[in-house]
Amino acid sequence: MPEGPEVWILNKAINTHFKDQIDKKSMSYGKHLLILDSKENWSFGLTGKVKLSDQNELIKINDGWINGDQVKYNDLDIETGKLGIDFMTADSSVIMDEVDKWINSKKKLAGTLLDQTKIAGIGVAWGSEILFKAGLRPEMRCCDQNLSKLADSILYVRNKIKNIYEKELKDPEALINNWFENLYKVRDMSVYKKGSKIEVLGRRWWV
């Protein structure tokens, strides 16, 4: 499933491809791609696909079991205001401040990390990588673990993803048309689909 990093690099590819057409711009926020000219919010399910038509128009392809939504919005600030801070663009100090709020929480870390009203863009795949790097367990409560390394882990994983994905921008058209299957070939995962599986709050994590 496309998460924040996948949507973030798709957005960069779109704006690079359409750099000379100021009326065709997009913005990524969390797992959402906001098409600014038409005021549409594209979310992606398990089958996230987009393509450029023969007329060079960006099209969202809806197929498969879960394909996400494509809905109109009126106000960009209201639309992004429904979500927490953006995983891919928030300042490091903002991420650290957010994680500090979790120290005494009695909620499981898995649910907190996936809460899109706290940090938007983290899913099970990159969430597993973040917790693995920090030495934390998704099934345990926040208050029962030492979260002192969590913010640094979030930032480390984010920077690692950016360095890998940005290399694909050399051909933005190909990135758009082959998104996001080709990103599976280049992303470097330490534990996701390599470690042990664990079910937490109805989701499959890797530890």
Provide the pLDDT confidence category of residue 182 given band limits of 50, 70 and 90.
confident
- Tell me: the pLDDT tens digits for 20-33? 887 779 999 999 99
Note the pTM of the prediction, 2 decimals: 0.95
Measured CA to CA in angstroms, residue 64 lies from 28, 120, 185 at distances of 23, 24, 21
d(CA 169, CA 161): 13
- DSSP annotation of 15 reads H
Separation between Cα atoms, residue 148 and residue 134, nearest integer Å: 9
Q: Which residue has the tokens 């960009």?
A: 76
In this prediction, residue 65 has a pLDDT band, given cuts at 50, 70 and 90, of confident
The pLDDT assigned to 112 comes to: 98
pLDDT at residue number 62: 87
Mean pLDDT of the chain: 95
- For 60-70, what is the mean pLDDT? 88
Q: What is the pLDDT of residues 127-160, one digit of tens each?
A: 999 999 999 999 999 999 999 999 999 999 999 9
- Domain ranges (residues) in the chain: 4-83+176-184, 85-160+188-206
In terms of CATH architecture, what is 85-160+188-206?
Answer: Orthogonal Bundle (1.10)
> Per-residue pLDDT for 40 more than 90?
yes
Confidence of residue 1 (pLDDT cuts 50, 70, 90): confident
